[in-house]
Amino acid sequence: MLYDPGDSNGRNIAVFENGVRTFYDRGVMHVAKDGKELVCGGDVFLPAVWLGDESVVAYSESGFSNRTWTLPAGCSLPSGVRAWTLDYNGRAPFTDFKIEGRSVTLSLAPGQMVIFSNSI
């Protein structure tokens, strides 16, 4: 890990292997891989590597509407990928998303988690 005491915007940055960077901007923690945001405060869009290269988990602490995330390098979602909400009751089909190229646009309610995968 390389620690950068600050960039020109006054953000503290830690640089890890494989293009992963973390930084705080205006009190909000961000994690990005190769410039693609994976975490922004309480919103998460991460490859679900335990399920393979074609799976992603999304979560929002406060909820968001029509947010677009870009898949990081090494991760892809095949056409026809299925998605489920996950909670203490199990899983249920989730259809409020659109995939265009390497971008996924979706809306999540507060505390909602979704997994995109054909592996489960």
Provide the pLDDT for residue 110: 97
66 within domain boundaries: yes
- Domain of residue 53 covers 7-116
* Tally of structural domains, the chain: 1
Provide the pLDDT for residue 8: 52
Report the percentage of the chain scoring pLDDT > 70.
Answer: 89
The secondary structure of residue 116, as a DSSP letter, is: E
46 within domain boundaries: yes
74 within domain boundaries: yes
Q: Is the pLDDT of residue 78 over 90?
A: no
Report pLDDT digits (tens) over 9-63: 556 677 777 778 888 888 888 888 888 899 999 999 999 988 887 899 999 999 9
Q: Which CATH number goes with the domain that contains 60?
A: 2.60.40.1180
- The CA distances from residue 10 to 13, 20, 35, 51, in Å, are 9, 19, 18, 37
